[in-house]
Amino acid sequence: WEASGSLRPEGFHGAEVVPLRTEAPPPDVQGDTNAPPATAEDGDAEATVQPAVRSDEEDAPPVAADTTEVSSEEMEERLRLCFLQAARTRIKDRDLPMPVNTLYAAHMRPSRRSEWSVDVKMTRFKKLVPFLAMLEEGGLLRMKPKGSEHLLVEISRKASDYTEFRPWPKDVTAAAVEDGASDGAVARFQVEVLGKVAPSAAVLFGNVEFVTQEQVVSVLRDYANQKSLWAANNRKKVQGDEVLCAVFGEAEVAGTVEQLSAQFMKGCKKFHKVTAPQRGAAAGTKTSIRPGAPPKVTIRTDTRRGHAVTLVRGLDQYGLDAEELAAELKKVLAGSTTVEDGELMVQGFWDVAL
């Protein structure tokens, strides 16, 4: 447990293992009330230790997945360990500065052990910034305010708490377990921008009707390799031949494959592909191709009734159930959520994380 950074279970104190027993077992396991509870010291090979009841004085409360059984002290320790796990395994110095809400939602919570539930509201601090301020006082990090939010600007990677912490394996984190659910097949919502291939471009794309920009890049690169169209003085630049000139409708075509793919997509009729998880026994996903560019989803911050909030609008255009998403975000962000007039509202500034 020490090597994995976990709290020791009940009964384990330093190098000592302390037997646990109670003076009065619970009613459902009490049995003969006149008989003293059997203990390992009785010398009876058949003796069993009665179920333990944790006292308030114990130093190491047991790890429990249910947050209702976790003390504020243990919740603070879990969150501290989650920060260290995220700092050691996910967050690079180049990622900083980072909004603290993003730190919590995108890094600390996914880094928790899969059997843990973590919620900053169950600490004595109640809010994220005061909790992180405690870590800042301990020399683990440095924050600075920016407007109405705070940024994580530095992780103290030479601090003893950081250097002595041993991360637990990534495959036992909540992020890894959730990604591996359903035998590794997780249905995700995806939106892709497509271009419709014109008949004049069939010489490159064959019978393909729709393409993404990434597919165009791949086709152009393969064609340039096949026809040796790379510029002599710049191996990243393509000098177009008659075929490419006809496809692009230009007298001369030149540029990198990324530039040419963007130019090609700009000239295509716009479509978008939506892949959405399905409910019910069939589950799986459903894919549909729709005309036009993808509808915009707006995410903005505001104040409502004196509280800072993040507002999301436009999800209904993709068939997403705002109420279901609100319930999911409430668990992920550990904040209040609601839906008003088709607009999803999350308490706090979560625009970057969302």
At 197-244, the pLDDT tens digits run 999 999 999 999 999 999 999 999 999 999 999 998 888 899 999 999
Q: What is residue 272's predicted lDDT score, i.e. its pLDDT? A: 93
Q: Is the pLDDT of residue 334 over 90?
A: no
Q: Is the pLDDT of residue 47 over 70?
A: no
The residue that leads in pLDDT, 131 or 48, is 131
The residue that leads in pLDDT, 314 or 42, is 314
φ/ψ of residue 338, rounded to 5:
-160, 170
What whole-number distance in Å separates Cα of residue 117 and Cα of residue 297? 30
Q: Is the pLDDT of residue 68 over 80?
A: no
Q: Is the pLDDT of residue 277 over 80?
A: no
The residue that leads in pLDDT, 201 or 64, is 201
The residue that leads in pLDDT, 255 or 44, is 255
- Per-residue CA distances from 221 to 205, 214, 237, 262 (Å): 13, 11, 10, 13
Q: Is the pLDDT of residue 98 over 80?
A: yes
Ranges of H-type helices in the chain: 72-89, 100-102, 109-111, 128-137, 160-164, 174-179, 202-205, 213-227, 242-248, 257-267, 322-333
What whole-number distance in Å separates Cα of residue 308 and Cα of residue 29? 50
What whole-number distance in Å separates Cα of residue 66 and Cα of residue 56? 18
